[in-house]
Amino acid sequence: MHPMQELSPGLVIQGVQPPLNLKDFKLIAFDMDSTLINIECVDEIADAAGRKEEVAAITEAAMRGEIADYKASLRQRVALLRGVTIADMEMVYTQRLQLNPGAEQLVAACKAAGLKVLLVSGGFTFFTDRIRDRLGIDYTRSNVLEVESGPNCGQLTGRMVDQPWGDICDGAEKRKMLLETCAALGISPKQAIAMGDGANDLPMMYEAGLSVAYHAKPAVREKAMVAINSGGLDRLLEVVR
């Protein structure tokens, strides 16, 4: 194990000796909220229901690893979104959501080097599908918000819809999806890079050959091989070229 060292201001490495070669990897897996994008979507949707503070406090505790049952915490937050409309979510996407600095550059560099790109999120398909299309991402896994039919058509019910693979994309599901994608590609998880910022990203980060924390919670920064604490996502290219 190499000791922790600051490669340059705001870029810390431990357990790896750069420069690594991007072509040695075959897959990069990203978390979405606060990693690829600048917001926590669930918190911003809650703002439309006047419940942002309440929801954001639960999100923060979950990301810090202070809530043992992530699924229960997400169900609790989604229940508070009941009555929010699709139009409200569209507004979050168009007015509040931005790609984090360096997102497009890093994804483009990975694709140019032949890597497949996976987006695994505890967030929602309403946003992950758009980010997938915007960045040309190969695979995604995230949660589906249930929408009312009938008189309240277009409003959220406060529940999520079960999917063929399971009910909620939590840390265990992120890990499973990373491993399944590696198996489908015929590669070892050690040929994967995993990037995230919250405690629910750690299970997939432990499996990957290179784990990267991006402006992450303390527990995640400490355990990652690379921690980007300032600057954009493309700072990873200072370590993996």
Residue 67, both tokens = 């809530």
Alpha carbon distance 110, 237 (integer Å) = 9
Active site residues: 31, 33
Is residue 218 reached through a cis peptide bond, with omega within 30 degrees of 0 on the bond before it?
Answer: no
- CA separation, residue 184 to residues 27, 78, 154, 180, 191 (Å): 11, 32, 36, 6, 13
Sign, Cα dihedral of 149, 152, 153, 156: negative
**Tokens 């997939």 sit on residue:** 204
The residues, any chain, with a CB within 8 Å of residue 179's CB and separated by 6 or more, are 189, 207
